Amino acid sequence: MHLTEEEKRVALEQTGNILENYSRERGNLIPILQQVQEKLGYVPLVAMEEVARHLGIPAVDVYSVATFYNQFRLIPPGKHQIKVCMGTACHMKGGNIILDCWKRRLGIDVNQVTPDREFSLERVACVGCCTMAPVTVIDEEVYGKVTPTRVDGLLFSFGVKIPKGQQKEGEAVEQQ
């Protein structure tokens, strides 16, 4: 995904601020990446290069660590973050069907963002609302007993029009 010049500028500025609080020891790598993610919501390549420079290690080493741990997101999250619970209760109640439904409707896979950057999709562990399984969390709002029809309804409430009939896998959603 291509970052705008403004996104790069913000990423570099924020990363620089974070690095001021860390010495140049390699052991600081993960805490620094965590801070970058907390501040920016993701860890962009420009930030990794800056971190590498600060720690005096090759950028590829930073990249390897950031891609190894799936706690790190490498692309900016969507404006709306859709998290589908795949904990045991939700899984038993068809969480995977709901996840597939979101994937088809958005035309993206897990850990991806729609081309218009409106939505990103994640699978998460139990969010603590098991009696409402299967659960989807959108931004901070929890939605329980989600069905495929409810998925369409939720998208509609965000201004996404679902064409009648089954959408094909990978087909882009139609924006109003």
Under the rule (CB under 6 A), what is the footprint of ligand FES?
85, 87-90, 126-130, 133, 135
Least Cβ distance, residue 93 to ligand FES (angstroms): 8
CA distance 132 to 135: 6
Any idea what DSSP says for residue 44?
Answer: -
Q: Which residues are annotated as a binding site for [2Fe-2S] cluster?
A: 85, 90, 126, 130
Q: Kindly state the helix (H) or strand (E) to which residue 137 belongs, with its residue range.
A: strand 136-138
Least Cβ distance, residue 112 to ligand FES (angstroms): 22
CA distance 84 to 94: 11
CA distance 133 to 135: 5
Judged by CB, which is closer to ligand FES: 101, or 160? Answer: 101
Least Cβ distance, residue 173 to ligand FES (angstroms): 25
CA distance 33 to 84: 25
Q: Which residues are annotated as a binding site?
A: 85, 90, 126, 130
Judged by CB, which is closer to ligand FES: 62, or 85? Answer: 85
Judged by CB, which is closer to ligand FES: 131, or 157? Answer: 131
Least Cβ distance, residue 101 to ligand FES (angstroms): 16
Cα–Cα–Cα angle for 165, 166, 167, rounded to 5 degrees? 115
Residue with CB nearest ligand FES? 87
Judged by CB, which is closer to ligand FES: 19, or 146? Answer: 146
Cβ 114 vs Cβ 153: under 8 Å? no
